[in-house]
Amino acid sequence: MVRICMLTLFLLTTQFHWSYTHGSSDTVRKAYIVYMGEAPQSKSSAINLHHNLLSSVVSDDPIAKQSYIYSYTKSFNAFAANLLPQEVQRLQENENVVSVFPSKIRKLHTTRSWDFLGMPQSVKRNHQIESNIIVGVLDTGIYINAPSFDDKGFGPPPSKWKGTCQVGGHFTSCNNKVIGARFYSHDAPIPNSNPSPLDDDGHGSHTSSTIAGASIAGASLYGLAKGTARGGVPSARIAMYKVCWAGGCNDINILAGLDDAISDGVDLISISIGGISDSYFEDPISIGAFHALKKGILTTCSAGNDGPSLYTVVNTAPWILTVGASGMDRQFRSLVKVGNGIQTDGFSINTFSPKRRLYPLTSAAKSANASLTRGHSPWLCDEESLDAKKVKGKIVLCKEGLIQDYVKPLGVSGVIVSLDQQQDSGFTFIIPATFVDTNFGDKIDTYVNSTKNPQAIIYKSRAVRNAASPFVASFSSRGPNTLSSTIIKPDIMAPGIDILAAYSKLASVTGDLEDNRFDVYNIISGTSMACPHVTASAAYIKTFHPRWSPAAIKSALMTTASELKIKDVQAELAYGAGQIDPIRAVDPGLIYDLSKVDYIRFLCNEGYSGTALRLFTEGNTNCSSIPNIGGHDALNYPSMYLQLNNPKSSISAIFHRTVKNVGSKKAIYKATVKAPANLKVTVVPKELAFSHLNEKKSFTVVIQGPPLKNITSVSASLEWSDAKHRVRSPILIFLAN
């Protein structure tokens, strides 16, 4: 089982629950979320309103009661119910309803990394303030017995904490590190008859410990990546909201987790989950994150694992900090040696040490099952493609695929998988296995076909240094943002390849039932692993600047990010502002701040209006009442993006920006533009003089250029500098398909 998280979960469009005979035909009811905006003043009156609203569209009262699933009343106003299409339409027409959308199943986007980011154990910390930070994590639960969650030396939870610890099953208590744990079991698998916040997957424990795990010396996965495992803010507290089960992460559960987390008093929210949405008003993560923002809570989310394809990034609302995955200066390689002396370093996380000097070697083509269907290639090494008698005890060469569930029962000693596309992350297998490139795979195939008794060996993985780092992970989802053509997403990058962190002993290393390896640590790749690095960095900044807004913290991380040594072909659509630099972000010099009004202006600019906008943003909001700052994006964002839809269109855009001085009391910042010769970027004024802290200054950026010819994008940047601080904003012009 491949352990790139988002795991191997299926993205289902809707969940079917039960059917009724209604009228003259059988109709399947589906789960929907009815979102109604700001939290009600009275919980009981809101629940009554939900029931009355549901009864008004469902003609049969008993069916209406059975249709009801859940009410959200703490941090926003919504309810979930099983509805028919005509009932959905009637609810959408109601003046008190912002949106009605189907509950989807979203996917999980699944030591050394903090040193790589320049945060050694000796880094300066405000321990007392850090201990008062509470991070809410929406995930698969938590394995509290992992050493990373030991609460030795911790005092009681902060007084602001209003949450709870739901015990049940084998989850008996929280502690002073994991101060809260809840679970939401709508549509949880039937076999899980005694649900609890306990992590039986490992993903939630991994992300949580990356954020705030205690420092544990000697941590490793069967000797791999040995060192001190620790979170970015090891003194912080964790509150787990288990919203994911074996079948995925249900929207109904996600929204419930966000409703509670905001109300419980968390300082930041981390979500390594995502899925496709058609609107900011029809996405539970976007909805919850906006309400969190209004309470001063920053929500950080993973960008998705569907790269390197364009238009795959998710969690793209501007009030969310969206994180792509990068590679570190450490990779894991598994040496492959062949009997004729040739050898190469394969990509895998192989914990198995060979028990003999060489093993018999064969290829899938030479070991094909005689009954294999015509046209079905044996090279994929999938179901029924191999003859057990021909592969037992041997290492098998496969091409472009491996279904290890089918291969292991055949008794093979190992698998070498030849791939056309170069890998940049390791995979964990239930048998000795590794990926090699096609050139080497072809050499092995030639050797197998020309030798009477071919042999090979796959060694246990070892860590090697990679000087070409950081780089964008191939699987990390890319922009453009499908919901808005005016902002770059993802916002930023962080390590997400081969990350060692806490795990659950209730799940095997691969997650496969045939795997008998269980450990409290695991090495996993995914934007799921990148996201908690940024959450922890945001928490670290918050310990030095407790009163900074979510937008200020986001700006600090983006404008101090490091440019990539290895540029990606998709440029900022792959890495946003660049690689996070948590230490520099504590003192960014200038910040691009945003308030709720700024986001409302953005929504107006994007075409949102009417009752839905008013209910979403609270109060008597309408677009005509919001001051117009002009410019292309109508948003004081730390990056600038222009999307062209016609190859004949000239480049022309104006961006209005305002920065706040949070560096030196008196400072003069000068603008430096980096742009190709055919792109003219003008900054007015070119110099900003500040006389005191928190002073604001505005400027305008004008971008002009000819149509893009034979290229699809142009990158530039604007940097403000006062000799001490460098405040960099990426600029991207992209020609859409």
Q: What is the pLDDT of residues 435-460, one digit of tens each?
A: 999 999 999 999 999 999 999 999 99
H or E element that contains 182:
strand 178-183
If asked whether residues 515 and 387 sit together in one domain, one would say no
Give pLDDT, residue 2: 33
Closest among 418, 459, 386, 492 to 730, alpha carbons compared: 492
Catalytic residues: 139, 203, 528
If asked whether residues 199 and 213 sit together in one domain, one would say yes
- 564 in a structural domain: yes
If asked whether residues 39 and 160 sit together in one domain, one would say no
- 615 in a structural domain: no
If asked whether residues 175 and 199 sit together in one domain, one would say yes
Q: Using an 8 Å Cβ cutoff, are 249 and 243 in contact?
A: yes
CA distance 186 to 32: 12
**What is the average pLDDT across 44-73?**
91
If asked whether residues 40 and 94 sit together in one domain, one would say yes
Give the count of domains, the chain: 4
Q: Is the pTM of this model over 0.75?
A: yes
Q: For a pLDDT cut of 90, what percent of the chain falls above it?
A: 70
If asked whether residues 436 and 478 sit together in one domain, one would say no
For 623-642, write each residue's pLDDT tens digit.
Answer: 888 888 888 999 999 999 99
CATH number for the domain harbouring residue 36: 3.30.70.80
**What is the average pLDDT across 677-692?**
96
**What is the average pLDDT across 67-77?**
94
- 700 in a structural domain: yes
Give pLDDT, residue 61: 86
If asked whether residues 372 and 284 sit together in one domain, one would say no
For 467-486, write each residue's pLDDT tens digit.
Answer: 778 899 999 999 999 999 99
**What is the average pLDDT across 653-670?**
96
Point out the least confidently predicted range of 1-5, 84-88, 505-509, 673-677.
1-5
Domain boundary among 419, 447, 463: 463
Give every CB contact of residue 88 below 8 A, 6+ residues apart in sequence: 32, 100
If asked whether residues 134 and 232 sit together in one domain, one would say yes
- 601 in a structural domain: no
If asked whether residues 319 and 366 sit together in one domain, one would say no
Please say if the pLDDT value at position 20 is more than 60.
no
CATH number for the domain harbouring residue 161: 3.40.50.200
Give pLDDT, residue 115: 65
Please say if the pLDDT value at position 614 is more than 60.
yes
Residue 562: Cβ-neighbour burial (10 angstroms; 0-12, 13-18, 19+)? middle
Of residues 423 and 225, more confidently modeled: 225
Q: Domain of 52?
A: 30-102
Give pLDDT, residue 1: 29
Domain boundary among 421, 441, 463: 463
**What is the average pLDDT across 502-514?**
91
Please say if the pLDDT value at position 160 is more than 70.
yes
For 271-301, write each residue's pLDDT tens digit.
Answer: 999 999 889 999 999 999 999 999 999 999 9
- Count Cβ neighbours within 10 Å for each residue of 640-678 and write b for 16 or more, e otherwise: bbbbbeeeeeebebebbbbbbbbbeeebebebebebeee
Give pLDDT, residue 12: 28
- 36 in a structural domain: yes
- 5 in a structural domain: no
> Mean pLDDT across the chain, nearest whole number?
89
- 352 in a structural domain: yes
CATH number for the domain harbouring residue 451: 3.50.30.30
- 612 in a structural domain: no
- Residue at token pair 């050898």: 343
If asked whether residues 149 and 295 sit together in one domain, one would say yes
- Check whether the bond before 480 is cis (ω within 30° of 0): yes
Q: How confident is the model at residue 26 (pLDDT cuts 50, 70, 90)?
A: very low
